[in-house]
């Protein structure tokens, strides 16, 4: 893979706390990489390091082989779309979009042409003279995108660009955003805490957790071959059960479930078993690989339902037919023969 | 769902407020117009005298120059304290805002003690360079401007700091990432966004400077501005001319207020904070520069007040040619309290300011409650009357009150109050009313009307609702307003100098008399006492606000 944008071992601490810890990743020219992670995982910090608003304590940032780590933001030629858009309230839509062109010393005629062109790219042709305070949230978001794209930056950075839109608008704007980015063909780094958004927009998704890059890969790879316990449990729905490794995952008593492990743990090691709801079934009668438990919650979803079952080994979520059980029923949970294998990860001794 | 009542209470309140605030102004206008023999002769007289035009012009240019100078000091100061981090920033940051809370007269005499002919700085330079005479004379427009800039920079400082703190940091970052360097970010983004704050500060400075009396009175000499011109005419017995001058100054003040209102109307355009506020920079050599700039400016700006403190410990006639005072003692302070003649002004100031504040609280709150109950004409009239004294220079009210209450005509609501102990508290009350009134209006506006309705639906009587719901809600705002009112009353100079008698002389007048008879140390001790009283009131206010 040719790497157009490279982050190498980025470290950033604020006072005592390390907010990003050795983040390395690269993006090919024109690739869209999504930075996905829970709140506080350091996504924004990584983006701000790349943009140049923060200076890393260690690590380098390169674009096309050029080391930009020590360049101030105004000389990086990176476009950024802010979470709250940061449109200049005292300027019109056109003046906002022209700002970067003027700062770059473009001539008036050239600027006007480019503003018109960029505004029509985001579907806002003719909005030049509107005040940015008088247009809708979705339109503001598109002005922010146009403003970032107008000076033809080398890299586009977006911080939760859709989080300020109401859900109905978000779907449509997401598609339009992707279309515009693809049309320009710009290399893009984009932050979100929503898996759906990351999977739809990103060619590849980088999962951040406590300032560390846990895994980067295509949505399929993350879902099917999670590299860490965190990724396995963060991507998709799943339950985590403590277990002991002995050929499979030994849960409570003599119950052993078949499981897969990336790096095979030693016999008798403590593991965390990550189980997806469709890997399990509700059995009618007690069985050797069955955990006895009680349904504590049932979430109805059409012909199927999600059952939360309290067992001696912990709580698990099971996908089953909508009429399989009711809240309060005693049930037996067992691995589904056709389901994905549960994944075992050596227990991390996290602080 | 408000209970309807007859218009009796609002009517009485409007009458009272009008009698106190509006009536003296109307009488002033009438006298300027020569009523009952209507004539414009007095205005013609005014227009024919070059000295009047000179004073009017001086008022205007001094005010404009003050705005420029105050901005020059206040805006950079705000940037240093808001954008940079350095040791002592928080403490100094609030200290440099203090001068505006102190009575203007204090600033004037503090300045005199530091930079005056026999001031600390001049002596130092004279001694260092072995000059035979003081290096400069502190008088005329330059001195007035210096004193103005020295105290009124605070408006620019606080407005700019608030504006910067409200500024969305991601706007600056957005500009940066679009390729704008420092200068461009400042010129194209930061300053335009600060414009409402800056123009607000500019108008406030302009109005304050227009109304300023202490500095022109003490330093002006033959250089007159409108305020000193009015008082001079008044003291010369040229009443009609004083009235015309007063009307003119009031008109200029009202134009200023009108501009201020318009400005507030257009202010909402800029968005509030959304992203993070820009972080304070703490890096490298900038830190030392910021520390030096912050401390240097703060020491420079607070030096006059420090000098005032020093001088208050210097016994009479002990400090002659030395650079530093050779003897320090608490004698001046002891003299204030031991000598009944010197104690009188302190007692006077305290009781008159307290009485005025108490009345201002009651009247301000009553006005707010009545106005909140009935919007429309009554409410508007009440709010306008309460706010008016804020917009008009103190000199205007001093002269208006003197004109209104030196005549006995009970059927016209006029009594001879000038010369009695009642006139000064009344004058202070008028000046303080907008401060408590505004606070009460603001406090009531923030209260959810549903609270009172809920109490009513629970069976609470009107009195109970007032006591248990309304008062607790407006109390913090009202307390803040009250401390500002007390501050204004105890520090007043301009109303006092027009209306005092020997028996009712307040501290400010006594400071001036002490200076006149060369009791420098005693004047300084009075000044420190006044500063301490003001600072105490200011701290109460700060605590409530914060
Ligand atoms: N300027 C700063 N000073 C101190 N701590 C900071 C600063 N910026 C971020 N942090 C801390 O770093 C951690 C990561 O912050 P960051 O904003 O990068 O997370 P995030 O993944 O973007 O989270 P969110 O989804 O909530 O936006 C947080 O714990 C945050 O409190
Ligand atoms: Mg974030």
CB B305 within 8 A of CB B531: yes
Closest CB to B275 among A75, A82, A90? A82
A84 neighbourhood in chain B, CB within 8 Å: 168, 170, 274-275
- The closest of A239, A260, A258 to A250, measured between CA atoms, is A258
Contact B188 A73 (CB under 8 A): no
Looking at residue B273, its pLDDT comes to 40
Q: Whose CA is nearest to atom 9 of ligand 1?
A: A45
Closest CB to A103 among B179, B195, B271? B179
The residues with which A243 forms a beta bridge, in sequence order, are: A271
Looking at residue B266, its pLDDT comes to 55
Looking at residue B190, its pLDDT comes to 92
| Residue of chain B with shortest Cα separation from A50 | B177
Q: What is the H or E stretch that residue B531 is in?
A: helix B520-545
Query: Ligand 1 in contact with A42 (CB < 6 A)?
Result: yes
- Give me the residues of chain B with pLDDT under 50, please: 1-3, 267-276, 282-283, 545-546
Query: Ligand 1 in contact with A48 (CB < 6 A)?
Result: no
Q: What CATH superfamily classification does B49-278+291-311 receive?
A: MetI-like (1.10.3720.10)
The torsion angles phi and psi of B518, rounded to 5 degrees, stand at 65, 20
Q: Whose CA is nearest to atom 1 of ligand 1?
A: A14
| Tokens 């399929």, located at residue | A220
Q: Whose CA is nearest to atom 6 of ligand 1?
A: A14
Residue A44 CA to ligand 1 centre (angstroms): 7
Looking at residue B270, its pLDDT comes to 41
CB neighbour burial string for A19-28, b if at least 16 within 10 angstroms, e if fewer: bbbebebbbe
Looking at residue B129, its pLDDT comes to 84
**Segment B277-306, tens digit of pLDDT:** 555 554 455 678 878 888 888 888 888 888
Burial class (CB in 10 A: 0-12, 13-18, 19+), A13: middle
Q: Which ligand is nearest to the CA of A42?
A: 1
Q: A72: Cβ–Cβ under 8 A, 6 or more apart, which residues?
A: A52, B176
Query: Ligand 1 in contact with A19 (CB < 6 A)?
Result: yes
Q: Which residues in chain A (123-142) have CB-CB distances under 8 A to chain B?
A: 133
- The closest of A211, A49, A83 to A159, measured between CA atoms, is A83
Return the sign of the alpha-carbon dihedral for residues B512, B514, B518, B520: negative
Q: Whose CA is nearest to atom 29 of ligand 1?
A: A40
Strands A187-192 and A155-159: parallel
Query: Ligand 1 in contact with A43 (CB < 6 A)?
Result: yes
Mutate to test the interface with B, among A45, A76, A89 (most CBs of B within 10 A): A89
If one residue of A19, A23, A57 were mutated to test the ligand 1 pocket, choosing by the most ligand atoms within 8 A of its CB, it would be A19
Q: Which atom of ligand 1 is nearest to the CA of A45?
A: 18
Calculate ∠ Cα B99-B102-B104, nearest 5°: 95
CB neighbour burial string for A190-208, b if at least 16 within 10 angstroms, e if fewer: bbbbbbebbbbbbebbbbb
Residue A39 CA to ligand 2 centre (angstroms): 7
Virtual torsion, Cα A283, A285, A289, A294, nearest 10 deg: 70
Rounded to a whole number of angstroms, the distance from the CA of B288 to the nearest CA of chain A is: 20
Domains B49-278+291-311 and B336-546 alike in fold: yes
CB B402 within 8 A of CB B496: no
| Residue of chain B with shortest Cα separation from A78 | B177
Looking at residue B283, its pLDDT comes to 47
- How many angstroms separate the CA atoms of B81 and B89, rounded? 6
- Domain coordinates of chain B in residue numbers? 49-278+291-311, 336-546
Going from the C-alpha of A2 to that of each of A205, A207, B408, B416, the distances in angstroms are: 17, 21, 98, 95
CB A96 within 8 A of CB A143: yes
Spell out which residues have Cβ within 5 A of ligand 2, the ion.
A 44
> Is residue A161 less than 8 Å (CB to CB) from chain B?
no
- Tens place of pLDDT for every residue, chain A, 351 residues? 468 999 999 999 988 889 999 999 999 999 999 999 999 999 999 999 999 989 999 999 999 999 999 999 889 999 999 988 989 988 999 999 999 998 888 899 999 999 999 999 999 999 999 999 889 889 999 999 999 999 999 999 999 999 888 888 888 889 999 999 999 999 999 999 999 999 999 999 999 999 999 999 999 999 888 888 899 888 888 888 889 888 788 888 788 898 888 777 788 888 889 899 998 999 878 888 889 999 999 998 889 999 999 998 889 999 999 888 899 999 999 998 887 888 888 876 544
- The closest of A5, A106, A4 to B179, measured between CA atoms, is A106
Strands A304-311 and A291-301: antiparallel
Q: Which atom of ligand 1 is nearest to the CA of A54?
A: 1
- How many angstroms separate the CA atoms of B107 and B101, rounded? 10
Q: Whose CA is nearest to atom 28 of ligand 1?
A: A40
Query: Ligand 1 in contact with A45 (CB < 6 A)?
Result: yes
> Is residue A37 less than 8 Å (CB to CB) from chain B?
no
* pTM summary value: 0.80
Contact B189 A103 (CB under 8 A): no
CB B104 within 8 A of CB B214: yes
Taking phi first (over 0 means left), then psi (-120 to 50 degrees means alpha), and beta for anything else, what does residue A308 get?
beta
The answer regarding whether domain B336-546 maps to CATH 1.10.3720.10 reads yes
Query: Ligand 1 in contact with A37 (CB < 6 A)?
Result: yes
Contact A83 B275 (CB under 8 A): yes
B177 neighbourhood in chain A, CB within 8 Å: 51-53, 73-74, 76, 78-80, 148, 157
Virtual torsion, Cα B393, B302, B83, B546, nearest 10 deg: -60
Closest CB to B178 among A52, A89, A100? A100
Q: Whose CA is nearest to atom 12 of ligand 1?
A: A19
ipTM of the complex as predicted: 0.79
The residues with which A245 forms a beta bridge, in sequence order, are: A249
Contact B269 A89 (CB under 8 A): yes
Contact A83 B270 (CB under 8 A): no
Residue A63 CA to ligand 1 centre (angstroms): 25
């Amino acid at each position: 893979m040719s790497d157009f944008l490279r982050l190498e071992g980025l470290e950033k601490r604020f006072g005592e706390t390390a907010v990003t810890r050795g983040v390395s990743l690269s993006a090919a020219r024109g690739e869209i990489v999504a930075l996905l992670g829970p709140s506080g995982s350091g996504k924004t910090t990584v983006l701000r390091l790349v943009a140049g608003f923060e200076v890393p304590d260690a690590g380098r940032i390169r674009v096309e082989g050029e080391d930009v780590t020590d360049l101030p933001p105004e000389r990086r030629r990176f476009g950024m779309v802010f979470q709250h858009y940061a449109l200049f309230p005292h300027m019109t839509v056109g003046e906002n979009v022209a700002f970067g062109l003027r700062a770059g010393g473009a001539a008036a005629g050239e600027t006007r042409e480019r503003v018109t062109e960029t505004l029509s790219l985001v579907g806002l042709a003719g909005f030049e003279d509107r005040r940015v305070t008088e247009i809708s949230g979705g339109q503001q978001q598109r002005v922010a995108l146009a403003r970032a794209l107008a000076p033809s930056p080398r890299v586009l950075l977006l911080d939760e660009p859709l989080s300020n839109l109401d859900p109905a608008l978000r779907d449509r704007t997401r598609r339009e955003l992707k279309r515009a980015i693809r049309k320009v063909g710009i290399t893009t780094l984009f932050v979100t805490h929503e898996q759906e958004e990351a999977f739809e927009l990103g060619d590849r998704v980088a999962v951040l957790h406590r300032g560390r890059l846990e895994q980067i890969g295509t949505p399929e790879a993350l879902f099917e071959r999670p590299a860490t316990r965190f990724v396995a449990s963060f991507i998709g729905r799943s339950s985590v059960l403590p277990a002991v490794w002995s050929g499979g995952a030994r849960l409570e008593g003599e119950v052993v479930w078949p499981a897969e492990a990336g790096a095979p743990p030693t016999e008798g090691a403590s593991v965390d078993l990550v189980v997806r709801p469709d890997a399990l079934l509700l059995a009618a009668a007690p069985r050797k690989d069955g955990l006895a438990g009680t349904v504590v919650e049932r979430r109805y979803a059409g012909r199927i339902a999600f059952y939360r079952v309290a067992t001696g080994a912990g709580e698990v979520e099971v996908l089953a037919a909508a009429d399989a059980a009711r809240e309060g029923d005693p049930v037996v949970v067992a691995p589904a023969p056709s389901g994905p294998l549960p994944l075992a990860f050596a227990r991390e001794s996290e602080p | 769902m408000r209970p309807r009542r007859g218009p009796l209470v609002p009517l009485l309140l409007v009458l009272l407020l009008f009698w106190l605030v509006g009536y003296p102004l109307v009488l002033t206008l009438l006298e300027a117009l020569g009523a009952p023999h209507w004539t414009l002769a007095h205005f013609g007289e005014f227009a024919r005298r070059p000295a009047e035009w000179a004073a009017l012009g001086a008022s205007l240019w001094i005010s404009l120059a003050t705005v420029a100078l105050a901005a020059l000091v206040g805006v950079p100061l705000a940037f240093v304290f808001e954008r940079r981090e350095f040791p002592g920033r928080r403490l100094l940051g609030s200290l440099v805002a203090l001068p505006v809370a102190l009575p203007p007269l204090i600033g004037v005499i503090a300045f005199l003690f530091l930079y005056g002919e026999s001031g600390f700085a001049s002596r130092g330079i004279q001694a260092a360079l072995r000059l035979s005479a003081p290096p400069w004379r502190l008088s005329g427009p330059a001195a007035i401007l210096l004193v103005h800039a020295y105290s009124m920079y605070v408006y620019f400082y606080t407005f700019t700091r608030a504006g910067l703190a409200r500024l969305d940091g991601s706007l600056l970052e957005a500009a940066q990432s679009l390729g704008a360097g420092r200068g461009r970010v400042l010129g194209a983004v930061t300053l335009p966004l600060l414009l409402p704050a800056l123009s607000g500060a500019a108008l406030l400075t302009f109005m304050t400077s227009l109304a300023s009396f202490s500095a022109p009175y003490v330093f002006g000499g033959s250089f007159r501005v409108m305020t000193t011109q009015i008082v001079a005419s008044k003291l010369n017995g040229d009443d009609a001319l004083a009235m015309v001058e007063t009307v003119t100054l009031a008109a200029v003040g009202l134009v200023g207020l009108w501009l201020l209102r318009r400005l507030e109307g257009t202010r909402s355009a800029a968005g509030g904070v959304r992203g993070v506020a820009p972080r304070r920079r703490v890096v490298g050599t900038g830190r030392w520069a910021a520390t030096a700039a912050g401390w240097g400016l703060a020491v420079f700006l607070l030096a006059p007040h420090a000098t005032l403190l020093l001088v208050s410990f210097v016994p009479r006639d002990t400090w002659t040619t030395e650079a530093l005072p050779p003897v320090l003692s608490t004698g001046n302070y002891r003299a204030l309290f031991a000598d009944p003649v010197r104690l009188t002004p302190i007692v006077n100031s305290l009781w008159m300011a307290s009485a005025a504040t108490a009345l201002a609280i009651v009247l301000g709150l009553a006005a707010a409650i009545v106005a909140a109950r009935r919007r429309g004409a009554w409410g508007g009239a009440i709010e306008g009357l309460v706010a008016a004294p804020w917009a008009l220079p103190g000199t205007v009210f001093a002269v208006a009150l003197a004109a209104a209450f030196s005549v006995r005509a009970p059927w016209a609501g006029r009594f001879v109050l000038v010369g009695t102990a009642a006139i000064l508290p009344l004058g202070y009350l008028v000046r303080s009313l907008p401060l408590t009134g505004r606070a009460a209006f603001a406090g009531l506006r923030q209260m959810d009307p549903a609270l009172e309705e809920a109490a009513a639906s629970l069976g609470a009587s009107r009195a109970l609702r007032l006591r248990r719901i309304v008062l607790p809600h407006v109390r913090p705002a009202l307390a803040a307003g009250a401390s500002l009112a007390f501050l204004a009353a105890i520090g007043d100079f301009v109303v006092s100098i027009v209306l005092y008698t020997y028996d009712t002389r307040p501290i400010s007048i006594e400071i001036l008399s002490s200076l006149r008879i060369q009791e420098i140390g005693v004047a300084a001790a009075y000044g420190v006492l006044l500063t301490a009283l003001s600072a105490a009131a200011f701290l109460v206010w700060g605590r409530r606000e914060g």
